[in-house]
């Protein structure tokens, strides 16, 4: 495999703990990984975890620039694929509507390569017609692919569809994108 660059978007869903495992698995599989986190994700998990796992700076703020080019623009040209895991209903709604108000949404709207979304949310949110409409739009208009969600125990205490796919399954979907 030639070295591939993955932009790993991390949103503020409780499944964020699985994103650290996914980052580690991507790096172990030979991918270069750069992580972009939403403000909500930063409240749930430290960017230092992703810095350590990816060996790259983590983009968490639109207004801290280290180079002349805005970081979200640089990442969009650097990346071969964008993977958003966990992918919340909030992110799907922003992406479908073209809203770019934080690091991940601006990076996503600037990126023109393959996109893989790993939805993770409450089963009622997943079943919401507006969420399904937004997801269909992202798939139809932007060509995004999805992996999951799965049915299982959810953080809210219920069992239903909305559980983020396991990191091994997401890694397999990423590898299939380049096969």
Find the CATH number of the domain harbouring 28. Answer: 3.40.50.1950
User: Could you tell me the residue range of the domain that residue 41 belongs to?
Assistant: 5-177
Total domain count, the chain: 1
Which of 45, 62, 99, 156 is an active site residue? 156
Backbone angles phi, psi at 59, to 5 degrees: -85, 115
pTM of the model: 0.94
Active site residue 156: yes
Give which of 52, 66, 157, 59 is closest to 105, Cα–Cα: 59
Rounded Cα gap, residues 115 and 81, in angstroms:
6
Strands 150-153, 159-163: pairing is antiparallel
Express as a percent the part of the chain with pLDDT over 90. Answer: 82
Give which of 128, 127, 1, 23 is closest to 84, Cα–Cα: 23
Q: Per-residue pLDDT tens for 16-31? A: 999 999 999 999 999 9
Those residues of the chain that have pLDDT short of 70 are 1-2, 63-73
């Amino acid at each position: 495999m030639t070295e591939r660059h993955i932009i790993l978007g991390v949103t503020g869903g409780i499944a964020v703990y699985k994103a650290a495992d996914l980052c580690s698995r991507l790096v172990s599989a030979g991918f270069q990984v750069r992580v972009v986190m939403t403000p909500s994700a930063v409240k749930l998990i430290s960017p230092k975890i992703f810095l350590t796992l990816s060996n790259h700076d983590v983009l968490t703020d639109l207004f801290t620039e280290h180079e002349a080019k805005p970081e979200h623009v640089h990442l969009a040209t650097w990346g071969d694929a964008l993977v958003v895991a966990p992918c919340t209903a909030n992110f799907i709604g922003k992406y479908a509507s073209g809203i770019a108000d934080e690091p991940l949404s601006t990076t996503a709207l600037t990126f023109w390569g393959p996109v893989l979304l790993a939805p993770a949310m409450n089963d009622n949110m997943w079943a919401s017609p507006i969420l399904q409409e937004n997801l269909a739009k992202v798939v139809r208009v932007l060509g995004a692919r999805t992996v999951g969600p799965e049915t299982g125990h959810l953080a809210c205490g219920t069992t239903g569809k909305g559980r983020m796919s396991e990191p091994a399954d997401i890694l397999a979907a990423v590898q299939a994108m380049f096969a």
